[in-house]
């Protein structure tokens, strides 16, 4: 038999069924807040949704007093509560007893995680492909909104650094922002040495375009290093992962892009000093050498050199004298020796024994006929001599008695 319900009865029956199912009590649900309404009664009404579905939620005043964060559309939350049916409208709803912020784990964040994984797998975040920033860029491309404070921050920070700044305007939030940023990046091809892509702080919603695939790929295919600076320090987008360098703020990005002018000036000053010093050192070294040479050839030194030479000469002379004297001595001894030997063979010894040598002007008188009567002759004795006159010359036979 077919039962016919009144609508009220039907909803009552559904309510009974759902509200008595223990699996629909004390549960956690995850989703993104939308249609958020904080009613003057103090109750909060919102829709919790994900990619495929949604459910109405209510957080009554007594449960929402210690929320601890600001509920708003787009917020990803975890809701704890029970399923019930709002009978007047036959609406299934989640009666929340507690709501907690769900950091980065909402469906959009799940999508984001998936995109991150995909791009990472393709090597878009690889550290090896990050290019070093040029030290002294001559052309700086900036992709941002011409109206934004970020652009002014960047320009102020670049200050007086001498570079051409090429602004490539982009819409940095709202519908079409992703394509606009990607196009602005492409437009800088071969026009810059470094590119800054930036925007100031904003809600996660506002910054979301920097999480898009099209922007990631545009950054990846830039022909020069890209610095990303999106939002504040705590906001990290996919653009930041792909960029060659990530800066916490637009001001920080500009600081990264250009060297500090004062620092260069200091470096120049040091360089100048180093050059001067090197030149002076070189000069001093030559001067020292000159001084040394001068000293080497000074009169004083010459004098001392001459003195040394003289001394050496004296020394040599002395040596020579000594040698000479020695030689004389030797000669003298030799002479004495010879004298002795001569004496031994000479007539002296014989004369000492009583013989005499007779000598005329013609020489030795060996025979009587060597002299003539009346001639004066000399008799050499052992000591002294006698001058004698010859009385008579007798020949040999007569002389032998």
List contacts with other proteins (CB under 8 A).
134-136, 138, 146-147, 151-152, 155, 158, 160-169, 184, 187-188, 191, 261, 264-265, 267-268, 271-272, 274-276, 278-279, 281-283, 285-286
List, in sequence order, the alpha helices (H) in 261-383. Answer: 261-296, 299-345, 348-352
DSSP state, 261? H
- In the complex, what is the shortest distance from the CB of residue 267 to other proteins, in angstroms, rounded to a whole number? 7
Shortest distance, CB of residue 140 to other proteins, whole angstroms?
10
240 half-sphere exposure, CB direction, 13 A CA radius: 18
Q: How far apart are CA 134 and CA 195, in angstroms?
A: 11
**Of the two residues 64 and 148, which places its CB atom closer to other proteins in the complex?**
148
Q: In this complex, which beta carbon is closest to other proteins, that of residue 116 or of residue 255? A: 255
Residue 265: CB minimum distance to other proteins, A: 6
Choice between 104 and 174, CB closer to other proteins: 174
8 A C-beta contact, residue 304 and residue 312: no
Interhelix angle 177-187/213-220, nearest 10 degrees: 10
Closest CB 182 distance from other proteins, rounded Å: 14
Phi/psi at 4 (5° precision): -110, 120
- Considering the complex, what minimum distance in angstroms separates the CB of residue 299 from other proteins? 28
Q: How far apart are the first and last CA of the chain?
A: 222
Instruction: Supply the minimum distance, in Å, between the C-beta of residue 166 and other proteins.
Output: 5
Residue 268 or 302 having the CB closest to other proteins: 268
Q: How far is the CB of 138 from other proteins (least distance, A)?
A: 6
**Beta strands 44-49 and 27-38, pairing class:** antiparallel
| Minimal distance, residue 158 CB to other proteins, in Å | 7
Contact 104, 92 (CB under 8 A): no
Other C-beta atoms lying within 10 Å of the C-beta of residue 68: 8
Considering the complex, what minimum distance in angstroms separates the CB of residue 295 from other proteins? Answer: 20
Are 193 and 139 in contact, with CB atoms under 8 Å apart? yes
What lies within 8 Å, CB to CB, of 179 at 6+ separation is 214
What radius of gyration, in Å, describes the C-alpha atoms of the chain? Answer: 66
Report whether 232 contacts 248 (CB < 8 A): yes
Count Cβ atoms below 10 Å from residue 298 Cβ, excluding itself.
Answer: 11
Q: Where are the beta strands (DSSP E) in 204-277?
A: 226-230, 245-246
Short-list 175, 241, 166, 246, CA closest to 205: 175
Q: Which is nearer to other proteins, 264 or 380 (CB)?
A: 264
The smaller minimum CB distance to other proteins, of residues 25 and 267, is found at 267
Residue among 188 and 257 whose Cβ is closer to other proteins: 188
Specify the residue, 165 or 351, whose C-beta has the smaller distance to other proteins: 165
User: What is the DSSP code string of 140-203?
Assistant: EEEEE-TTSHHHHHHHHHHTT---EEEEEE---SSTTHHHHHHHHHHHTTTT-SEEEEEE----
- Give min distance, CB of 175 to other proteins, in A: 19
Q: Which is nearer to other proteins, 50 or 179 (CB)?
A: 179
d(CA 329, CA 319): 15
């Amino acid at each position: 038999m077919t039962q016919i319900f009144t609508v009220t009865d039907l909803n009552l029956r559904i309510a009974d069924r759902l509200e008595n199912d223990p699996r629909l009590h004390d549960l956690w649900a995850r989703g993104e807040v939308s249609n958020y309404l904080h009613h003057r009664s103090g109750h909060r009404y919102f829709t919790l949704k994900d990619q495929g579905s949604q459910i109405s939620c209510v957080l009554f005043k007594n449960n929402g007093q210690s929320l601890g964060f600001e509920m708003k559309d787009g917020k990803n939350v975890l809701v704890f509560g029970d399923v019930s049916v709002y009978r007047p409208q036959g609406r299934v709803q989640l009666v929340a007893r507690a709501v907690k912020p769900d950091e980065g784990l909402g469906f959009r964040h799940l999508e984001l995680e998936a995109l991150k994984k995909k791009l990472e797998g393709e090597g878009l975040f690889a550290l090896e492909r990050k290019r070093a920033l040029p030290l002294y860029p001559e052309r700086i491309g900036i992709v941002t909104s011409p109206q934004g404070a970020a652009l002014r921050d960047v320009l102020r920070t670049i200050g007086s650094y001498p570079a051409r700044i090429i602004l490539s305007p982009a819409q940095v939030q709202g519908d079409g922002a992703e394509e606009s940023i990607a196009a602005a990046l492409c437009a800088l091809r071969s026009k810059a040495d470094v590119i800054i892509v930036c925007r100031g702080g904003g809600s996660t919603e506002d910054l979301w375009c920097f999480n898009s695939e099209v922007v990631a790929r545009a950054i990846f295919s830039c022909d020069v290093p890209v610095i990303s600076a999106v939002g504040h320090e705590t906001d990290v987008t996919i653009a930041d992962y792909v960029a060659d360098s990530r800066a916490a703020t637009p001001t920080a990005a500009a600081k990264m892009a250009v060297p500090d002018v004062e620092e260069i000036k200091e470096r120049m000053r040091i360089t100048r000093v180093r050059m001067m010093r090197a030149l002076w050192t070189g000069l001093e070294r030559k001067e020292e050498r000159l001084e040394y040479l001068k000293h080497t050839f000074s009169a004083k030194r010459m004098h001392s050199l001459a003195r040394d030479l003289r001394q050496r000469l004296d020394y040599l002379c002395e040596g020579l004298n000594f040698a000479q004297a020695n030689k004389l001595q030797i000669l003298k001894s030799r002479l004495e020796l010879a004298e002795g030997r001569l004496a031994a063979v000479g007539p002296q010894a014989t004369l000492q024994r009583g013989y005499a040598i007779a000598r005329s002007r013609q020489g030795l008188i060996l025979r009587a006929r060597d002299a003539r009567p009346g001639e004066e002759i000399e008799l050499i004795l052992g000591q002294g001599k006698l001058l004698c006159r010859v009385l008579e010359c007798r020949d040999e036979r007569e002389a032998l008695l």
